[in-house]
Structure 1
Amino acid sequence: MLKTTVLNTAHRALGARMVDFGGWEMPLHYGSQIEEHHAVRRDCGMFDVSHMCAVEALGPDVKTFLLRLIANDIGKLKTPGKALYSTLLNEAGGVVDDLIVYYLSDTHYRLVINAGSTDKDLAWMAERLCEWRLDVCLIPLRTGPTAVAMIAVQGPHAKARVWEVLPEVRPATEKPGPFFAVEVGPLCIATTGYTGEEGFELTVPAAQAEDIWNALLAAGVKPCGLGARDTLRLEAGMNLYGQDMDESVSPLDAGLAWTVDLASERDFVGKAALLEKGRQRQFLGLKLLTQGVLRAHQKVVTAQGEGDITSGSFSPTLGCSIAFARLPLGVAIGDRVKVEIRGKRLDAEVTRPLFVRHGKALI
């Protein structure tokens, strides 16, 4: 039996094509993935991301816990509401999951973890708490009176549409910069996203989610599914857990070195392994120079050896096929390589793994 979000009925009423996504029944698209993609780049779209799990981390030892647990330095978070992106690592330096950490106070943080990794992550964190004997309480906001839903509203007109529907949040949300969250009554509004566009991620009481979704729909916000979400995040250079990294992959080899604090004396799970192994592969972008579609697991042939594509698709914004790839050290941006597609070796150009931001092409 697939799990469903509180917006499942709303998706079906809109004629969404529903699919299994990590054990959750989620909308793939509502008719046209391409139209949904362009809506986010040019106007405004919204996504049900309630399958993600928000977890309250509370207690006198929570900061100590997260400093030992998270690869990035949560000690940098000083202002309530400020957030950072990072990874949970195993002892071998592989990525258990990627997540966002919001600082609310020295005894209160909020974590947002991936849907398909939720049970694994919570069990893994519970083991560390037991091992380290720290006073921390982890509360998933999934069921009961604390249950929440999450709606991501993204695009150049996203903020204006949210303010139209929820005028009470405007005073508190006009000034915060990227990666910041504010609480207005029972609502939490964060300036985070997964598309490379402006917008908000709304965390709302589950009982209010459908009313807010329908109000945004009436205000002209286009509902968007997983298909558009994937092409948008690929264009924006954002990794997907399970494809671009997993427990066998170091963040240094997944283009996530910027999320890892190796410079300070602070120790964290996986740090010793990262220092010992270092970076062994490069995480770069590819642009296909001929017709065809780049896909995960395709082989890449370079002058320095073979690599492989981790994520790939047709880019609606650029009108060509793009991909992320793990490639040998020594491959440089601008190099020409070959990608094996259906028995043929097609030409591709190596690029930065960041293709589009705020509707503008970067390659």
Structure 2
Amino acid sequence: MGHRTPLYDAHLAAGGKMVDFGGWDMPIHYGSQLEEHHAVRQHAGAFDVSHMTVVDVQGGDARAYLRHLLANDIDKVKAGRAIYTCMLNERGGVVDDLIVYKGDNDYRLVVNCATREKDLDWMENQAGGFAVDIHERPDLAMIAVQGPEARAILEKVLCEAGAKAVAGLPFFGFEYVGEWLIARTGYTGEDGAEIILPGIKAEDLWQRLVDAGVRP
């Protein structure tokens, strides 16, 4: 048995075909991959990406540390924006790809689950000499809502502050609403948002999305 996200029971209830993915029990489809593809291209679909590894980086040298660690210069983006980049090894080879969300004095990284241990070991290994705190966040879940109708549905489903954030976000922008990070990012090529939230709140949001017509 692999690791399970907070939405494991919801996947089973929706008829998800569960498979091993990087050590996690994840749904590969809910009956028809073709119909799910069209839902995301034409309407809106919800993805459980809670298996991804969320890491908060803080401290006086966080900026300098990430400029050392990453291929792209985080100084090229303003606070409240995200950047897609890679961690590099000492030869300039790729350790992993990731998204970095840049706050005022802190950063949130989302890296891949299958390379979690390698990534965290590399990040800790490169932290020597930097005043930096690297803190994994297994308490958080992550839901991606993608498709041409995704943001309009989220505006109806989320609280007033969350709806306002979704409506006003530029591409690759993000905003904290309480403990929730709402970002206009994603990997589908469609518009939408990714929401990082406390794991105990994930199933409620998932159900509200499904009730609003978003397809798992």
Q: TM-score, normalized by length of structure 1?
A: 0.58
Distance 2:198 2:2 in 1: 22
Distance 1:216 1:172 in 2: 17
1:134 matched to 2:130? The reply is yes
Q: Offset of 1:141 from its aligned partner?
A: 0.8
Q: Secondary structure at the match of 2:194?
A: strand
Report if aligned partners of 2:166, 2:193 keep a CA contact under 8 Å in 1: no
Q: 1:179 aligns with which of 155, 172, 178?
A: 172
- Bigger RCO (CA 8 Å, 6+ sep): 2
1:204 matched to 2:204? The reply is no
Amino acid paired to 1:160: A
1:94 matched to 2:96? The reply is no
Q: Secondary structure at the match of 2:37?
A: helix
Distance 1:56 1:97 in 2: 17
Amino acid paired to 1:26: M
**1:151 equivalent in structure 2:** 143
Aligned-residue RMSD, C-alpha = 0.9
Q: Secondary structure at the match of 1:28?
A: strand
Structure 1: gaps spanning 5 or more residues: 224-363
The structure that has the greater radius of gyration is 1
Q: Secondary structure at the match of 2:114?
A: helix
Q: Offset of 1:92 from its aligned partner?
A: 2.4
Q: 1:114 aligns with which of 112, 115, 127?
A: 112
Alignment deviations for residues 211-263 of structure 1 (CA, whole Å, 9 cap, x no partner)? 1101100111000xxxxxxxxxxxxxxxxxxxxxxxxxxxxxxxxxxxxxxxx
Distance 1:179 1:20 in 2: 30
Alignment deviations for residues 39-63 of structure 1 (CA, whole Å, 9 cap, x no partner)? 0000000000000011110000000
Structure 2: gaps spanning 5 or more residues: none
Alignment deviations for residues 307-345 of structure 1 (CA, whole Å, 9 cap, x no partner)? xxxxxxxxxxxxxxxxxxxxxxxxxxxxxxxxxxxxxxx
Amino acid paired to 1:82: R
Query: Percent identity over the alignment?
Result: 51
Alignment deviations for residues 161-214 of structure 1 (CA, whole Å, 9 cap, x no partner)? 111111421222322211111011221110000100010101111110001101
Q: Secondary structure at the match of 2:27?
A: strand
Distance 1:11 1:172 in 2: 28
**1:166 equivalent in structure 2:** 158
Q: Number of residue pairs matched?
A: 215
1:213 matched to 2:211? The reply is no
